[in-house]
Amino acid sequence: MTPRARWGGAVALMLASSAALAEDAGTPKAASPLVDATTVVADLVVDLRYATEDNFLKRKVYPDSARCLLLPESAQRLKKAADALRAKGYRLKVYDCYRPRAVQWEMWKIMPVPGYVANPRTGSNHNRGGAVDLTLTTLDGQEVEMPTPFDTFSPSAHHGYAGGTEASRKHREILREAMEGVGFKRNRMEWWHYDLPDAKTRPVLDVPFPPP
């Protein structure tokens, strides 16, 4: 059995166990297998910042094999948003998708501030495959101006921020309209973060990324 096949079996086992626990707890919905978002959104630009040192942790916490994994519902909504944006001359670029719970603990040690980093005891929607951090690019993959860089923990990253350039606010609104238009919910403190509406009904996962 290949490493990737073994990983797939581990994911299935973890998801089945999580689903059983969720059912026992009376959770409305069980988890679905996570999918690689690039298989659903063909032109998705992937820049997983936690697989690099270019993040607020200042260190790499994802392996090189990390992918943008999402619940199927999240991936399908993302596709609809990407389709709408493509017609306007934009593509979507993802910074973070599914995040193992173990990484959530590392983030909490550095930034234990609810609203910016979810408490790993209850879990982040990223840990459920129900959240995505993203921005816009041009059709040729160049990032457009936004009010702040990714993971800027300040009021300038809030959706209500009226400062910055007109272009940055315009791009933030274009992204918001596309994501909310397909049913995602924005995080008011982070212009890049969007959640599946019922993400909190899904089990928190700690499945590692597949091997190379």
Report, as residue numbers or ranges, the catalytic residues: 190
What's the rounded Cα separation, in Å, for the pair 105 and 92? Answer: 28
33: helix, strand or coil: coil
The verdict on whether residue 159 carries a ligand-binding annotation is: no
The verdict on whether residue 171 carries a ligand-binding annotation is: no
* Helices within the chain (DSSP H only): 3-24, 72-86, 101-110, 166-181
Which amino acid, residue 113? V
What's the rounded Cα separation, in Å, for the pair 202 and 129? Answer: 9
The verdict on whether residue 133 carries a ligand-binding annotation is: yes
Closest CA to 88 of 18, 169, 171: 171
| Residue 24 neighbours by CB under 8 Å, 6+ apart | none
Number of Cβ within a 10 Å radius of residue 168: 18
Which amino acid, residue 66? A
Residues at the annotated binding site for Zn(2+)?
126, 133, 193
Residues at the annotated binding site?
126, 133, 193
